[in-house]
Amino acid sequence: MATLQRETDVAATTEAVKAGLSAYNAARVGPRNSEPLAISLRDESGAIVGGLVGELKWQWLHVDLLWIDEAHRGKGHGEALVTMAEQAARDHGARGVYLATMSLQAPDFYPKLGYKEYGRLEDYPVAGHRILQFAKAL
């Protein structure tokens, strides 16, 4: 008989759940074909002042993080990072890109690049804000 318990060994539980879910998914849609993606924006001294982090998996790119230091915003770097990531996704054979952003971040940025909103969660991370989900076909 199976029993439920709250784990103290989070790493072991996470690994077991990931392995089980990966096997389940692979049996139905094929291997994940996962590849991490990281693109940096560096200043003249080589310091990272922005970047995009995501994962190429199956036929999609998931953009997990996009950030640009305030001193470097408004100069087209965000669009350049997204464009470079989209090209990496095409090279990987991806059909599209998906991501989430909070209303306090850059929700107006993505539609300008052709992204369509497909979902939102109100009052996240706190009341009065929301998280928005976007996708774009490549």
Secondary structure string (H, E, C) spanning 5-37: CCCCCHHHHHHHHHHHHHHHHHHHHCCCCCEEE
Number of Cβ within 10 Å of residue 38's Cβ equals 12
Give the C-alpha separation, 35 to 42, whole Å: 23
Does the structure show a pLDDT above 90 at 97?
Answer: yes
DSSP 34-81: -EEEEEEEE-TTS-EEEEEEEEEETTEEEEEEEEE-GGGTTSSHHHHH
How far does Cα 60 stand from its chain's mean position? 10
What is the model's pLDDT at position 94? Answer: 96
pLDDT, tens digit, for every residue of 21-78? 999 999 998 888 899 999 999 999 999 999 999 999 999 999 999 999 999 999 999 9
Give the C-alpha separation, 21 to 116, whole Å: 28
Q: Percentage of the chain with pLDDT > 70?
A: 100
What is the model's pLDDT at position 4? Answer: 82
**Mean pLDDT value across residues 90-98:** 96
Instruction: Give all domains of the chain, ordered by start, each with its CATH number.
Output: 31-137 (3.40.630.30)
Between these two residues, 70 and 2, which has the higher pLDDT value?
Answer: 70
Long-range contacts of 24-28 (CB under 8 A, 24+ apart): none
Q: Which residue bears the tokens 């996704």?
A: 89
Which region among 32-36, 93-97, 100-104, 115-119 has the lowest average model confidence (pLDDT)?
A: 32-36
pTM score over 0.85: yes
Does the structure show a pLDDT above 90 at 116?
Answer: yes
